[in-house]
Amino acid sequence: MNGDMYVLSTGCQWRTIPKDLPHKSTVHDYLDLWSWDGTLDRIHHALYVACREHCEREVSPTAAIIDSQSVKSTEKGGAWIDPHGYDAGKKIKGKKRHILVDTMK
């Protein structure tokens, strides 16, 4: 679990996992297995519920906020792989991304 959390939290490459953690193939195999059998989803749900209860909130949120952002970008690998897009409202070449968040502070 420590190896998986290290890779997921730091975004490091598999080959740069510190020597005090299990071998990269072992860590990857566990991550793959837990993803396949639903263990990661169950862990996420348990932590989500615990966080909401710690903040004295209902387990299921009753309201949420949606927002969007336009991000300037360039074509990567040619237009046929990753087209840059266009936000006509702001007249920006780039991507528009959206996020939905809980109202919990």
Model pLDDT for residues 47-83, shown as the tens digit of each residue? 989 988 998 888 887 788 888 887 776 655 555 555 6
Predicted TM-score of the model (pTM) = 0.56
Token pair 């920006």: residue = 92
DSSP secondary structure string, 59-87? SS-S-EEEEEEEEE---SS-TTTS---EE
Q: What's the confidence (pLDDT) of residue 74?
A: 63
Mean pLDDT of the chain: 82
Give the number of other CB atoms < 10 A from CB of residue 73.
14
Query: Considering the chain, what percentage of its residues have pLDDT values greater than 70?
Result: 84
Identify whether the C-beta of residue 31 lies closer than 8 Å to the C-beta of residue 4.
Answer: yes
Q: What is the rounded distance in angstroms from the CA atom of residue 40 to the CA atom of residue 7?
A: 14
Please name the amino acid found at residue 98: H
Beta pairing partners, 78: none
